[in-house]
Every structure is written in structure tokens, then in C-alpha cells.
Amino acid sequence: MTADERALGAWVSAYLRASVTLARETVRIGPFLASFSSADPIRFLNYAIPDDGAVPTSADVAALTDAYHQRGRLPRLEYVPAAAPAVEAVLVAAGWGVEGRLPLMVLPASTPVDGEPPSGIELVAPASAADLQATVAAQNEAYGEGPPGPDGGAGIGRTIEHGGRVVLARVTDGGEAVGGGLFSKPQDGVTEISAIGVRAPFRRRGIATGMVRWLAREARLVGATTVFLMAESAIEEGIYARIGFETVGEMLHISRAPGPASHGRD
């Protein structure tokens, strides 16, 4: 592991810990910062982050697992393995399973992010509770999750309240919501573009590309100097590379189901 990889892991981890503390309930469990969304059980809003250099015990992992199960949430971690290389083996030994190893991509500060949305689609900042709810519903559908509860938009509403931005993609004629994405308030100039989702009938039209560009522009306007994201497939990595993002490392998603280990966009 190089010094650059360790440094990358450290600043991404610091950003993740700061952003979840702003947006969600957090609990310190051993060397983990666990975050929980009371409004939405979607796994991407409920996960823990290990401390840099963490070496958890089996008791730490058991306590973390119980904390998520008690809240009706899937025990998960999202983190940069370069920042905490000892964690994965302990989790796997406890029955956790790797969901994916996602390319970690950074947008160079000099890269332009101009561009218009596809014809017939508009990209807007949600302006009402109904807009927030529609954004989350579109994201959940894109990720194969169930519809949000009555207060499902509350979580991304807090993202906006705390200085982040949310984008809603919708059909220009009629306003049907087709996708969404967001970034949290930059921390020391760093922010992550995340939760980019497009409903299946509207994919392969460049909507995800348009949303990422919109969010990157907004992030720079509010002071972000380092904008990063994670690609969930080689196809997405190629899409984001065409925007100008460069792969610089890896993010690990790993989880544990209640029983045996369990294991969209443009």
C-alpha cells in the first residue's frame, strides 16, 4: 500500500464520517461510527465506517451487527480498505459478505462539467416536500428498493438543510420524476456525489451523466475542490470517465444478513 493510497483513504473516510454525522443518527460502537436513517431503510443510508487503522474484535463486530438488526436495518459498512486494511478479514470471519468493490473516482479541479440534460428532461433542485418524496421514490425504484414511507423525503431534505444539494430529474412535459442524486456539504473542500439513480424505463438517455454534471457544478459553487464518487460497474466507470472522473482507488461495500451471510443508471 502506497502513501498516496493511505492519504486518499484518510480524506475520504474523514469526509464520510463528517457527512453522516450531519445527516443521520450516529452511534459509536467500538472502532466503528454507525449511521442510521430513521426515515428510510434503504441500505445506502444505513452503514458504518471504521476508524482509520481499525483492528476490530469479534465482540465489536457482534455489537455492530446487533445494533443494525435491533433497528430493522441491514448491517453494512462502506469504507476505503486502504484506510483500515485489517477490518475486512474480521468481518468475513464473522459471516459478513462482500457486496462489491467499487472504483473510487475523483474529478480533477480543472475538468469542465458543462452540458445540457437530454431532450425532454429537466434537472431541478427539489422545491417542495412533494418534490423530495418524488426524488426518493425514483431513487428507490432505480436501486430495486421498495417505495419510501410518508416521510421518505426527510433524509434528503436534511442534506439540503445542512448545506448539500439534491437534483431531481423529471420529464419536462408533465413533471414525472425519473431519477435523482445528491451531494452532502463539502468538508474541508471534499464532497461525494452519490445516490445517482435513474428508473429503468428512462435509462440509456444520458440522464445520469446530466445529473452528475449538474451536481459537480453545484458542488464547485459551494466550495468543493475535490469531488469524488463511486462507480458500481464497469459501465458506470466508463460513463463517469467520459465526464472526466479518474479512478484513484477502491471502496468496499460489505454487509451481514440476519441469517447466513448474504451477500442503474445511464
Residue ranges of domains in the chain, CATH in brackets = 3-103+251-255 (3.40.630.30), 121-224 (3.40.630.30)
Given a cut of 80, whether residue 4 has pLDDT beyond it is no
Average pLDDT value over all residues in the chain: 92
Query: Residue 196 pLDDT > 70, yes or no?
Result: yes
Task: Centre a 10 Å sphere on the Cβ of residue 4 and count the other Cβ atoms it contains.
Answer: 11
- How do residues 157-172 score in pLDDT, each as one tens digit? 989 999 999 999 999 9
Confidence of residue 39 (pLDDT cuts 50, 70, 90): confident
DSSP string, 20-89: HHHHSEEEEETTEEEEE-SS---GGGS-EEEPTT----HHHHHHHHHHHHHTT---EEEE-GGG-TTHHH
Q: If you average pLDDT over residues 215-243, what whole number do you get?
A: 94
Using the structure block, give the residue that is written with the C-alpha cell 443521520.
24
Q: Select the more confidently predicted residue: 259 or 180.
A: 180
Predicted TM-score (pTM) of the model is 0.83
Residue type, 166: V
Q: What is the pLDDT of residues 204-219, one digit of tens each?
A: 999 999 999 999 999 9
26 strand-pairing partners: 35
Mean pLDDT across the stretch 231-239? 91
